[in-house]
A and B are shown apart, each in its own frame.
Chain A
Amino acid sequence: MAVSAPGRARVVLAKPGLDGHDRGVKVVGMALRDAGAEVVYLGLHVSPEQAVAAAVAEDADVIGLSVLSGVHLAVTEALVAECRRAGLDDVSVVVGGTIPPQDVPKLLGIGARAVYPVGTPLGDVVSGVLGIVDEKRGVS
């Protein structure tokens, strides 16, 4: 059953594409950090290759993308493909931002593990991400 978690949850956050709206990603990063996670925020204009390289270097459990410019489908698809190319099977991709309701199932279909559209309570984002890490480590 429950195995002790080997250290803290490790989360890499990034803003892909050209969007500069970074209020949300910073707030989520600070909240995850206060909840005990190790958070690395890569900043703006992060390419899929850069995100994957950081995930490998940081031994990340989760890569979180924040997109408020409407290109969430394209950038998530690109990141999931890059994760596959790099063989990162044990890293979950989560996506947050200005995501209209009809795109949530599309993002899950592309391979996002969880989607946090605008309006998601901050506590739900934190518990969702930490829950993914707990599940990966067999903590229940």
Chain B
Amino acid sequence: MTDLFTDSGIELRPFYDEDSVGSDLPDRLGEPGHPPFTRGAYESMYRGRLWSMRQYAGYGSAADTNARYRYLLSQGQTALSVAFDLPTQLGFDSTDDRVASEVGRVGVAIDTVEDMEMVFDGLPIDQLSVNFTINATAPIILAFYLVAAERQGAAMADVAGTLQNDILKEFLARKTFIFPPDHSIRLVADVVEYASAELPRFNGISITGYHAREAGCDAIQEVGLTMASAVAYSEAFRARGLDFDFFAPRLSFHFASQLDLFEEAAKVRAARRMWHRIATERFGATKEASARLRFFSGCSGATLTAQQPLNNVVRSTLQCLAAVLGGAQSIHVMGYDEALEIPTEESVRLALRTQQIIAHESGVAKVVDPLAGSYFVESLTDTLEERAWALVEEIDAGGGYVSMLAEGIPQRWVAEAAYRYERDVAQGAKIRVGVNKYVEDDEVAPPLFEIDVEAADRQRSTLRRRLAARDEKSAAEALSALREVLKSDDNAMPALLHCARSGCTLGEIADEMRAVFGEYREPQAW
């Protein structure tokens, strides 16, 4: 008989029985909402409140994106997730010639606080929960958002959402870093410190395994690398004098949801148990909330195929189901056309409907942690935990996550895993329907999202108009005050808020940071 394995290489027995799970299972599980949180972050889970349906969206100008958000909310979406274009993520203004073709291409272009106000025009910030996929420029975007909230009259206590702000995984996989690691981590800490003190409903960071997984690593590596990075951040925040229980309750996490249904559900159960152990044993958490892992689940783009794109609806449905069975607090489902282009309105609507059907028709949301006690799922949970711990220990022994990243070692682990996977597909050891089996000739691509080539020009004209109208003296003063703060150990957020209110652009602010911090080049891939 052939040996069978999960996607992360755990060997599978033909069936599982009570010998497959140790005798102390009740202790490893606890009750939902209670330590060690294996069974879920909250007692009532989806019976109390469904997960947030949070489709990642944004393109073109601020006005284009505002229209897409109004549409998604009108269709029953319950939270927002902002996609920024690459110039915004990398600290360039839309008028910068070096990035002209990238403006508004893969997300919305944000140059000034007025763009942020436009994105949320008519959308009450104090009633929304908004996720921002932003990292190197996260402190700038947070400042813009908070000033936009202030101008809407929102109270800071009502500003809810999550700033991705996880720079370590940018060095690992996503690659929108700008500054060297030490300065980057300082900015992450500035945000986390500020948000922990001032924004009770806001997560200042989302510690993310998603992008490493999308870049090719397996589920075990995803959990191990995420935990190692949560350790690294916690150590960095404590090193600047913050108490673990001050920031840990607002740490949030982000995992991928791929296709191996039981392994994906078991993975996040294992992650919750691991974080509880790290928080209590390693960092001496005294608040229960400090050890409660809450996460956003992103369905996988890397598993989608360009061939027979409608098959991706089925893949995304399974992934969304895995996220729900694992107890995600919020979920994004990919559009079926996203192997080819950013999604059309129709494709985004279908992705949202996928979530709604699972929520309201499948029945799976009616019971908390429905897989608990399954011999197989508990065995998988234990094995994933054990192997991910081994990786955390390897990273500890190797000098810690930050120093290993600087040497490029975890980057190579991810690339090697991606290559193994592609070779398995090429050799047919891994079946991909429509790709290496059940292939159809003469495929016709679906209608794709059409890029509005004039959106970038509109964005540039808007910025030029705003620059012409602003008070140059106060903008310049705000920037020079920022530079002094960046050179000091003071928290940069108040100075960034002042820059935002003074009409400074994202590119100008990022240039001040470049001048003080320098820029980072990554180590050679091989």
Q: A69-B106, A70-B106 known; A22 and B339 CB under 8 Å? A: no
Give the residues in chain B near A30, CB-CB below 8 Å: 415, 419, 526
**Interface pair A23/B415, CB less than 8 Å apart:** yes
- How far is B425's CA from A63's CA once the two chains are assembled, in angstroms? 25
Q: A70-B106, A100-B445 known; A26 and B525 CB under 8 Å? A: yes
**Interface pair A118/B306, CB less than 8 Å apart:** yes
**Interface pair A19/B86, CB less than 8 Å apart:** yes
Q: A100-B341, A119-B305 known; A22 and B426 CB under 8 Å? A: no
From residue 1 to 57 of chain A, which have CB atoms closer than 8 A to chain B? 17-23, 26-27, 29-31, 41, 43-44
- How far is B456's CA from A71's CA once the two chains are assembled, in angstroms? 13
For chain B, what secondary structure do more than half of its interface residues adopt (helix, strand, loop), or is it mixed? loop
Give the residues in chain A near B524, CB-CB below 8 Å: 41, 43
**Interface pair A20/B341, CB less than 8 Å apart:** no
Give the residues in chain A near B425, CB-CB below 8 Å: 122
Shortest beta-carbon distance, A17 to chain B, in Å? 6
**Interface pair B105/A27, CB less than 8 Å apart:** no
Q: Say yes or no for A139: interface residue by CB 8 A criterion.
A: no
**Interface pair A17/B340, CB less than 8 Å apart:** no
**Interface pair A121/B341, CB less than 8 Å apart:** no
- How far is B176's CA from A139's CA once the two chains are assembled, in angstroms? 42
Give the residues in chain B near A31, CB-CB below 8 Å: 419, 422-423
- How far is B414's CA from A102's CA once the two chains are assembled, in angstroms? 32
Shortest beta-carbon distance, B85 to chain A, in Å? 9
Q: Say yes or no for A74: interface residue by CB 8 A criterion.
A: yes
Shortest beta-carbon distance, B59 to chain A, in Å? 10
- How far is B102's CA from A41's CA once the two chains are assembled, in angstroms? 23
A-B pairs with CB below 8 Å: how many? 97
Shortest beta-carbon distance, A77 to chain B, in Å? 10
Q: Say yes or no for B522: interface residue by CB 8 A criterion.
A: yes
CB nearest to A71 among chain B residues? B101
Shortest beta-carbon distance, B347 to chain A, in Å? 14
Give the residues in chain A near B305, CB-CB below 8 Å: 119
- How far is B425's CA from A27's CA once the two chains are assembled, in angstroms? 12
Give the residues in chain A near B106, CB-CB below 8 Å: 69-70
Shortest beta-carbon distance, B291 to chain A, in Å? 33
Shortest beta-carbon distance, A104 to chain B, in Å? 11
Q: A69-B105, A100-B340, A119-B307 known; A17 and B86 CB under 8 Å? A: yes
**Interface pair A75/B101, CB less than 8 Å apart:** yes
Within 8 Å by CB of B101, from A43, A74, A102, lies: A74
- How far is B92's CA from A85's CA once the two chains are assembled, in angstroms? 28
From residue 108 to 125 of chain A, which have CB atoms closer than 8 A to chain B? 117-119, 121-123
- How far is B521's CA from A4's CA once the two chains are assembled, in angstroms? 40
The 6 lowest CB-CB distance pairs between A and B, nearest first, are A20-B175, A119-B306, A74-B101, A18-B86, A26-B415, A71-B101
Q: What are some 25 contacts across the A-B interface (CB < 8 A)? A: A18-B87, A20-B175, A21-B175, A22-B175, A23-B215, A23-B414, A23-B415, A27-B216, A27-B422, A30-B419, A31-B419, A31-B423, A43-B524, A44-B175, A69-B102, A69-B105, A70-B341, A100-B340, A100-B445, A101-B445, A117-B306, A118-B306, A119-B306, A119-B339, A121-B426
